[in-house]
Chains A and B, each alone.
Chain A
C-alpha cells in the first residue's frame, strides 16, 4: 500500500512473505470501466464540492518551492482544513524549514496554513487558515452499504483537480487501524482529499493505494473524533500529542492481543501461536525438499504481522507488530554442523521498522539462558528508545531452544513504538505461553 502524497515519500506497509502485494505509486491514470457511473452523479458531486477542496503544497522555505503536494478540504467555517498527516509531516517535524500553502486550480489565491492538530495513528491533520472563505463540506452521518458508489476527489500528480469514481467496500477486515476499502484509483497527490457518497457528504479521507484500484480511505468517524477533540486557538505541543497517540495506539493493540486467542498450533515438533487477534495476519512457508537437494536443514516458519506501519516522518515508521516462529531440523548434519547453521539464522533477526540516527537511539541488548519447562533456551531481549519521544521504545525479543541435538525452534517478536510496561506485559505473556 502506498501513501498518496505526491511525490509520496514512502511505502506505508509491505505485506508479508510470498503473498506480498507488489506496491507502487505510479499507477497509470487510465480509463477504467469497473464502475458504472451516471455522468450526472460525478458531475454534480464535483460541482457541489470542488470549491471546498484545495491542493496543499509543502514549500521548502530556503528553496522557495514545493517538496510535496497533497489535497485537503474545508470542514469548518472557521477555516479548518482536513488532510493527511503524511502530507504535512515535514512541516510538523521541522517547522522552520517548511511552510504550507493552499491553492485551487486557478492558482489565483495562495493561503498560508498552520497545523492545528494531528492524529498520527490515523494519518490525519487539521490545518488552519483564518481568512479562508469557502463552502464547508458536510460529514456523512449515515453508513454506506458495500457496493455503493463513492467519489474521491483530489489533485493527483499536480494535474489539477480530478474526480475518481469507485465502490465502497466497507472497512478493511484485518487492518491495524480502521481503513475503508475503496475500489477506485487513488494516485499520488490525492492524499488528504475527500471521498463522497452520492449525497455529496464526506465519507472518508483518501490515504493510500495498493495498486489495481485497491485503495484506502480513513473513515470519516476518525476525522470527526479528531475535530471534536480540537479546540481552536489552543497552544499544542504536536510532538507530545503524537507521542501520546502512539502510546495510546500501542496500548490498544497490545491489550487487544493480550485479550486474543493464544492457541498453539503445531509447527514441526514444536508449538506456535496462530492469529491471536484480527489485525495480526499469519503466513506460512517451508523449505521445498523436492526442489532443493542440498543437505541444509529443513525449515518451516509462521510469520504474523500487522498490515501497515504508522508514518511518523519520511524516515521513521513505527507501530509495527511482528510475531515469528521458525522450526529447523536436520537428519544429515551432525549436531555441531546443525548448530553452526542455526546460529547463522538466530543471529540475523532485524526489526520490521526502521529509522535514522536522528529519530532512534541505539539498541541495548541482553541475552541469557532461560529454562521454560523442560527446555533450555537462549533468550535475547533488545530495546531502543526514540530520540524525540521519551517513553517510546522498539523492542525485539528472541528465544531459541538449545537442548536438542538436531532440531531447533525459534520464537521472535518485534513491537515497534511501545512502552516499557506494555512490552514487559507482552513478553511475560509470550514467554509463559511456552510455545515449545
Chain B
C-alpha cells in the first residue's frame, strides 16, 4: 500500500509527497540528492533513514545511524512500526505519514459563523485592520487636538495606551481558547477586536452629529446603547471562536452581559442624579457650524420656556 507524506520544514512550510503507487521495497530519506525523499535540512544526515514497506501493507521506519537521530512523537526511535497519521521528526523536519485512504475532515463551511470567523486569521488581514485602527485613532486625535504642544512621546503613549487593552483582552481569550479548544486562534481574536475598535471609533462621528442637531438623543442613553451593541457583537464573535458552547448559549451570553452592564450604568446614573453638585449639569455639546443642519428658535420662544425650567427646579428641592 502506498504512502503520502506531509513534510513540514523548519520554517513551517508544508508540502505533500505522494508515494501512493509504491507498494513494496524501501523509501530512502536524507539530504543527499539520490534519496527518494530529499529533506533540505542541515540537521538531517545525507542518508538519514528509510521506510520499509511490509508484505501485508504495513510500514516501518529504520534510522541509519544518523547524527541527530529520529523521533516518533516525543520518543527517540531507531526502528519502529508506523501507522497512518504518525509523526516522525528528523533533524528539524517533521514528517507525517498518511494512508492514501486516510479520511480528512470535511471542508469548513463559510455558512457556519464559527468556521467563517476561524478563516479570519491571516496576517494580511491583521495588518490591514491594524492600519485601519491606527488611522481611525489618528483621526480621533486630529479632531480632538485643541492646540496643545505635541511631542512624539505623548503620541506614542496615546497609541500604546489605545492598543494595549485590546491586546491584553485578546491574549486572555486566546489562553481560554487554548484550554477549551486546544488552539489559541490568536490572530482571529485580535482581528475581531480590531474590527470592534474601528467600529467604535467611527460610528461616533455621525452619531455625535445627529445628537448635536437633536439633543433629545443625548438624554435617551442612545450612545451607551450603541456602544454596548458593538460590545455584544464582539462578545458573540469571540465566544464563537474561543469556546465550544452551543450557539444558543453564545447568543444568550452576548445579549445578557451588555444588558447587565446597561442596567448597572442606569443605576449609577440615577443614583448620581440625586447627588448635590454646585456645578449645573447642562448639555454643553458644540460642533463645527457645518454639522449644524437645523435652525433655532427665536429669543422670545426661548424666554417662554423659562417658567417650565423653574417648575422643574421646584421639583428638585428635597
Interface residue ranges, A against B (CB under 8 Å) = 293-297, 330, 332-333, 335-344, 346-351, 354-357, 360-372, 376-387, 393, 396, 398, 400, 402-405, 420, 423-424, 427-428, 431-432
Within 8 A of A (CB), among B268-318: 273-274, 276-290, 292, 294-299, 301-303, 305-310, 312-318
- A371 near B298 (CB under 8 angstroms)? yes
- A393 near B310 (CB under 8 angstroms)? yes
Residue of B nearest to A355 (CB): B278
Measured CB to CB, the closest approach of chain A to B282, in angstroms, equals: 4
Measured CB to CB, the closest approach of chain B to A410, in angstroms, equals: 10
- A424 near B288 (CB under 8 angstroms)? no
Our pick among B277, B286, B306 for the contact of A342 (Cβ within 8 Å) is: B286
- A337 near B147 (CB under 8 angstroms)? yes
Q: CB-CB < 8 A to B144: which residues of A?
A: 337, 340
Q: CB-CB < 8 A to A336: which residues of B?
A: 143, 287-288
Known A294-B148, A335-B288, A382-B280; judge A369-B295 contact (CB<8 A).
yes
Q: How far is the CA of A52 from the CA of B275 in the complex (A)?
A: 48
- A337 near B305 (CB under 8 angstroms)? no
Residues of B in contact (CB 8 Å), total: 49
Q: CB-CB < 8 A to B317: which residues of A?
A: 361-362, 385-387
Residue of B nearest to A423 (CB): B306
- B145 near A333 (CB under 8 angstroms)? yes
Q: How far is the CA of A423 from the CA of B305 in the complex (A)?
A: 13
Q: How far is the CA of A337 from the CA of B317 in the complex (A)?
A: 39
- B290 near A381 (CB under 8 angstroms)? no
Q: How far is the CA of A230 from the CA of B176 in the complex (A)?
A: 81
Measured CB to CB, the closest approach of chain A to B73, in angstroms, equals: 62
Q: How far is the CA of A337 from the CA of B285 in the complex (A)?
A: 13
- A381 near B309 (CB under 8 angstroms)? yes
Our pick among B142, B278, B279, B297 for the contact of A371 (Cβ within 8 Å) is: B297
Query: Is B127 an interface residue, CB under 8 A from the partner?
Result: no
- B143 near A337 (CB under 8 angstroms)? yes
- What are 9 A-B pairs with beta-carbon distances under 8 A? A295-B147, A337-B147, A361-B314, A364-B316, A366-B308, A377-B296, A381-B309, A405-B288, A424-B307
Residue of B nearest to A367 (CB): B283
- A383 near B309 (CB under 8 angstroms)? yes
By secondary structure, the B interface counts as: loop
Q: How far is the CA of A378 from the CA of B294 in the complex (A)?
A: 12
- B147 near A360 (CB under 8 angstroms)? no
Known A343-B284, A365-B282; judge A296-B306 contact (CB<8 A).
no
Q: CB-CB < 8 A to A369: which residues of B?
A: 292, 294-297
Query: Is B54 an interface residue, CB under 8 A from the partner?
Result: no
- B283 near A296 (CB under 8 angstroms)? no
Q: CB-CB < 8 A to A354: which residues of B?
A: 278
- A403 near B289 (CB under 8 angstroms)? yes
- B310 near A383 (CB under 8 angstroms)? yes
- B303 near A385 (CB under 8 angstroms)? no
Q: How far is the CA of A364 from the CA of B276 in the complex (A)?
A: 12
- A343 near B147 (CB under 8 angstroms)? no
Residue of A nearest to B213 (CB): A369
Q: How far is the CA of A333 from the CA of B288 in the complex (A)?
A: 12
Q: How far is the CA of A420 from the CA of B314 in the complex (A)?
A: 11
Query: Is B146 an interface residue, CB under 8 A from the partner?
Result: yes
- A356 near B276 (CB under 8 angstroms)? yes
Residue of B nearest to A382 (CB): B280
Q: CB-CB < 8 A to A335: which residues of B?
A: 288-290
Known A368-B302, A431-B303; judge A384-B282 contact (CB<8 A).
no
Query: Is B215 an interface residue, CB under 8 A from the partner?
Result: yes
Residue of A nearest to B303 (CB): A428
- A383 near B313 (CB under 8 angstroms)? yes
Q: CB-CB < 8 A to B289: which residues of A?
A: 335, 376, 402-405
Query: Is B111 an interface residue, CB under 8 A from the partner?
Result: no
4 further contact pairs, Cβ within 8 A, besides A371-B298, A385-B314: A362-B316, A370-B302, A402-B287, A431-B299
- B286 near A376 (CB under 8 angstroms)? no
Among A384, A403, A423, find the residue whose CB has the most chain B CB atoms closer than 10 A: A384
